[in-house]
Structure 1
Amino acid sequence: METPDLSFQRRLLNEALTVVAAPAQVQTAWLEKHGVVTDEIALDFDHAFRMAEGLVEEGFLSRDALPELRLIDSIFDGMSCDESTDRWTAAALISDVGWIRARVLAQQVLAREGVNASPLPDISVVR
Structure 2
Amino acid sequence: MAAPDPSFRRRLLNEALTVVAAPARGQTAWLEKHGVAADEIALDFDHAFRMAEGLVEEGFLSRDALPELRLIDSIFDEMSCDESTDRWAAAALISDVGWGRARVLAQQVLAREGADASLLPDICVVR
- Return 5+ residue gaps in structure 2 as ranges: none
1:33-78: per-residue Cα shift (whole Å, max 9, x none)?
0000000000000000000000000000000000000000000000
Question: 1:116 Cα shift?
Answer: 1.0
**Cα distance in 2, alignment partners of residues 123 and 77 from structure 1:** 23
Partner residue in 2 for 1:116? 116
Partner residue in 2 for 1:73? 73
**Cα distance in 2, alignment partners of residues 80 and 98 from structure 1:** 11
Deviation beyond 3 Å, 4+ runs, structure 1 = none
Partner residue in 2 for 1:98? 98
Taking every aligned residue pair, what percent have the same amino acid on both sides?
A: 88
Partner residue in 1 for 2:2? 2
Q: TM-score scaled by structure 1?
A: 0.98
Secondary structure, aligned partner of 2:11: helix
Question: 1:107 Cα shift?
Answer: 0.1
Partner residue in 2 for 1:107? 107
**Cα distance in 2, alignment partners of residues 16 and 8 from structure 1:** 12
Secondary structure, aligned partner of 2:64: helix
Q: TM-score scaled by structure 2?
A: 0.98
Partner residue in 2 for 1:59? 59
**Cα distance in 1, alignment partners of residues 46 and 4 from structure 2:** 18
